[in-house]
Structure 1
Amino acid sequence: MNPTTFQELNLPEPLLQGINGLGFTHLTDVQKTALPVTLAGKDVAGQGRTGTGKTATFLITTINQLLTREPKPGRKGTHPRALVIAPTRELVIQISSDAQKLAQFTNLKIHTVYGGVDYEKQLKGFADGVDILIGTPGRLIDYLKKKAYDLKLTEMLVIDEADRMFDLGFIKDLRFMLRRLPKFDERQSLMFSATLSHRVMELAYEHMNSPVKLRGEEGEITASGIAETMYHTAMDDKLPLLIHLLRESSVERGMIFINEKRTGERLARNLARYGFSVGILSGDVRQARRVRILEDFTKGKLQLLVATDVASRGLHIDGVTHVFNYDLPEDAENYVHRIGRTARAGATGTAISFSCERFCFGLPDIEAYVERRIPLSVITEDMLDIGKPTHPDAHAEGMGEGDRAENNHDKPGSARPRSNNRRRRGRSSGHGQDKK
């Protein structure tokens, strides 16, 4: 019978203190399935829905193994005992934060490296010794080539978001790192992925020791606590509809996903002018500022976060009540990752998507991927009457001075949140592809 609480796992007391400090008591479905296997020292290739506790699974396993096993003979401080590789800076930061909290009552030293911040400062961090090294592939390779650390005595390997490594073109860097580790039967390896595709499993069988293939939850691919709905809307109606929904639901912490940076900048500006505290994450925002925006959003200083798919993975932020797909994603899989920012670890949340004339063509693929139809909601005229901007000079966090006034049509008084020539269509008649 699988355990249901962390107390049943016979974990070291310092680790249990860290788990209790985070408020964790009962295991999630993924943890019930995976932890008995990983704590037994077996290699695992695991698939789990986003927000189901897989990060805690591999961190608890890693910390437990380091506390209950002696280091390999000859180990020095520059020999990390555990290596955690993740594809994005945001994900590395989140993993590091969770690791620090779980290991706060131990003597384990955790070091985190990623691009976009002070290179020399991160390099100096190796001087104090490292037990758990967490990083992105590129920065890890940089320091490895500088001989800041050595992987020949590493006992634990974790690869998170393995499918994303392929998507972002990091697979060559990842293989470079794997070839510098001890042989697959001389270390424990854990790999987690949103999908266990053929290419992901090929990587697992090549670099892992007879990995146990696990899927924490069967059934629907999206988390069960998400209430989903879809609006068919003209592009010109999307901004007023979004503002109405934000007001109606009194959204305190919501994420809004768009497909293009330019759309996000325009949307963030207009939301700020309608009185919302909003931040934007785009590829050219400096890392220090990105971290500050995420901290402000996590602490509630920012009500909304506008982001492209760079933020649809790796952001483990508690309390996100609403996710809006302002643009339907062009990759069906990203729909799942986006809405997975809410209803995390057993909570509930709302996911609202807009299907406009530009991005509606991706809807059949999305519904085929999640294996069901997304429920429709009706748009009424009063939902589009939002009035004039209440804060015409406001701006969004994450935008430079040049961004704030780059287009005349975005200046106060000239934005048109509602089109006078809007086509009236059957807004609740159903999906267009129904007519076969």
Structure 2
Amino acid sequence: MFSQFALHERLLKAVAELKFVEPTPVQVAAIPPALEGRDLRVTAQTGSGKTAAFVLPMLNRLIGDAQPRVRIRALILLPTRELAQQTLKEVERFSQFTFIKSGLVTGGEDFKYQAAMLRKVPDVLIGTPGRLIEQLNAGNLDLKEVELLVLDEADRMLDMGFSDDVQRLANECANRAQTLLFSATSGGNGLREMVAAVLRDPQHLRLNSISELNEGTRQQIITADDPAHKERLVHWLLANETYQKAIIFTNTRAQADRLYGRLVASDHKVFVLHGEKDQKDRKLAIDRLKQGGVKILVATDVAARGLDVEGLDLVINFDMPRSGDEYVHRIGRTGRAGNDGLAISLICHNDWNLMSSVERYLKQRFERRVIKELKGVYQGPKKVKASGKAVGAKKKKTDDKKGAAKAPAKRKPVAKRPAASTLVSQDGLAPLKKRKPAEE
């Protein structure tokens, strides 16, 4: 029960109103030390309830009587505008019985409108690094009195090239009392450097190892001959799988648009989401998917983070993601909050090595699946090792060929020579000198 936490009664009232009953493992682990004011570095899978794990302690710190707003007291940084919008809604839901006000600053929205909002000084500011830096450079943003800094999906912000922006914004919050950093993966050296730079004596909470992520999601691969074959497989899966909602991921905008066109031509209700879509179209696509107006979304990795859609139970990787972390975030769209999901990756010959590297990263082996009606020629790389005998025979044959290529012209056979001490010429008339051994 949430009553186990030392939360303000107004927050517990909001939790009850929202019908939150049992806290998730990440909430149980993170909320108490966060309430104590500790810096935290938390690794937990997507869909595990991370947002509430930092929003509730943050609001508990800020809660109080109504006062004139003269400073931004908390800053939440996120990688994408979709995740920022979703987080704003969560903050507003949990703070509904308080006097705390929130504001949003992301790309794709009117710059002057955001500047006017900043002049009203919200208690909590939620935003993406790029647009926040623009407002900072324009003199519209003052973060010097921020008490609490939250970095959510920190690994993704690094992947997107926001490292310098995040570091600068953290430096602007120089007087903060607490920093909370959340990510779905452990990241690499870049994330470790960020942790060392922005956190002070942090408590590390690792709720899931990579191999334990998305245990409720079946992970399959289907081999394909080419992109056209992949398109036929997508049509078959959408027609034959049982699902409420589905996302199909591509690596490029051009492929997303092409696949979207093919699906629309086949009378599927579908939206497409990628970086070239303006904010209005992106919001419409996500809202229609959440409301059930469409069942299918074709997207690039812009939607791989922060997209929380109830009933999303099928993910298809039309293109294999370029890293293990991206794979984790893609399939994290399904199998959320303890529900079951299905993730299917379509694998051509140029996808196989990527797929194998993801298997090694996750320390898992994906289920191999064949659709009989659409079975292709390509079934994965040919096995190099058959039996030891076959391999040896093949090697000997190869060596023989190499030897034949390098051997000198065939000589006539000669009689076996006597010992070196008694060597004589072939005509038997004179003894031969002892030969030096040939150089190897």
The amino acid that maps onto 2:354 is G
Deviations 1:120-151 (CA, angstroms, capped at 9, x unpaired): 11111123331000011122122233333422
Quote the offset at 1:182 in angstroms. Answer: 2.9
User: What pairs with 1:15-414 in structure 2 (closer than 5 Å)?
Assistant: 15-67=11-63, 77-183=69-175, 186-196=176-186, 197-218=188-209, 220-235=211-226, 236-381=228-373, 384=374
The whole-number CA distance in structure 2 between the counterparts of 1:146 and 1:344 is 40
What's the CA shift for 1:433?
7.3
* Corresponding position of 2:402: none
Corresponding residue for 2:377? 424
Assess if the C-alpha contact under 8 Å between 2:349 and 2:381 holds in 1. no
Contact 2:315 2:334 in 1 (8 A): yes
Q: Deviations over 1:1-26 (max 9, x none)?
A: xxxx2121132222123223333211
User: In structure 1, the residue corresponding to 2:342 is in which secondary structure?
Assistant: strand
User: Offset of 1:217 from its aligned partner?
Assistant: 2.5
Match of 1:12 in 2: 8
Give structure 2 stretches of 5+ with no counterpart.
386-440
TM-score by length of 1: 0.83
- CA offsets, 1:241-281, max 9 Å, x none? 22222122243311000111111111111111222110001
Residues 424, 172 of structure 1: alpha-carbon distance in 2 compared, 3 angstrom cutoff: closer
Task: Considering Cα pairs closer than 8 Å and 6+ residues apart, tell me whether 1 or 2 has the greater RCO.
Answer: 1
8 Å contact kept, 1:78–1:127? no
Q: Aligned with 1:302: secondary structure?
A: coil
Q: 1:90 to 1:232 in 2, by over 3 A?
A: same
Deviations 1:301-337 (A, max 9, x none): 1111101111111212222111111111122221111
Partner SS for 2:272: strand
User: Is 1:78–1:126's contact at 8 Å kept on the other side of the alignment?
Assistant: no
Quick one: which amino acid aligns to residue 217 of structure 1? N
CA distance in 2, matches of 1:328, 1:19: 39
Measure the CA separation in 2 of the matches of 1:76 and 1:143.
23
CA deviations over 1:362-388 (Å, ceiling 9, x no partner): 11111011101001112202xx4xxxx
Which of the two has higher C-alpha Rg?
2
CA distance in 2, matches of 1:48, 1:278: 31
- 8 Å CA contact retained: 2:74, 2:147: yes
TM superposition score normalised by structure 2? 0.82
Equivalence for 1:394: none
Q: Percent identity?
A: 35
Segments of structure 1 that go 5 or more residues without pairing to the other structure are 385-421
Residues 280 and 219 of structure 1: is their aligned pair in 2 closer, same or farther, counting only changes over 3 Å?
Answer: closer
Distance across 1 between alignment mates of 2:70 and 2:140: 7
Corresponding residue SS for 2:345: strand
Rounded Cα–Cα distance in structure 1 between residues aligned with 2:382 and 2:170: 46
Report the CA distance shift for 1:308/1:156 in structure 2 as closer, same or farther (over 3 A): same
- CA 1:65–1:434: 2 relative to 1, 3 Å: farther
Q: Find the aligned partners of 1:115 and 1:90 in 2 and give their Cα distance.
A: 10
CA distance in 2, matches of 1:256, 1:316: 15
Offset at residue 294 of structure 1 (A): 0.8
Secondary structure of the residue that 2:211 maps to in structure 1?
Answer: coil
Deviation at 1:291, TM superposition (A): 0.8
Q: Deviations over 1:90-129 (max 9, x none)?
A: 2211111211111122111000000111111111112333
Asked if 2 retains the 8 angstrom alpha-carbon contact of 1:50 and 1:194, the reply is yes
Residue 220 of structure 1, CA deviation: 2.1
Structure 2 residue identity aligned to 1:228: Q
- String of CA shifts for 1:378-404, please: whole Å, max 9, x gaps: 2202xx4xxxxxxxxxxxxxxxxxxxx
Report the CA distance between 1:60 and its aligned residue.
1.2
Q: 1:172 to 1:76 in 2, by over 3 A?
A: farther
Over 3 Å counting, the alpha-carbon distance change for 1:255 and 1:23 in structure 2 is: farther
- Aligned partner of 2:410 in structure 1 is none
For residue 253 of structure 2, what is the amino acid of its counterpart? K
Distance 1:219-1:329 versus aligned 2 partners, 3 A rule:
closer
Q: Give, in whole Å, the separation in 1 of the partners of 2:199 and 2:68.
A: 25
Cα distance change on mapping 1:198 and 1:213 into 2, 3 Å? farther
Q: Secondary structure at the match of 1:129?
A: coil
Counterpart Cα distance in 1 of 2:30 and 2:317:
32
Does the Cα contact within 8 Å between 2:46 and 2:184 map onto a contact in 1?
A: yes
SS in 1 for 2:288: helix
Alpha-carbon distance in 1 for matches of 2:234, 2:303: 20
Does the Cα contact within 8 Å between 2:246 and 2:296 map onto a contact in 1?
yes
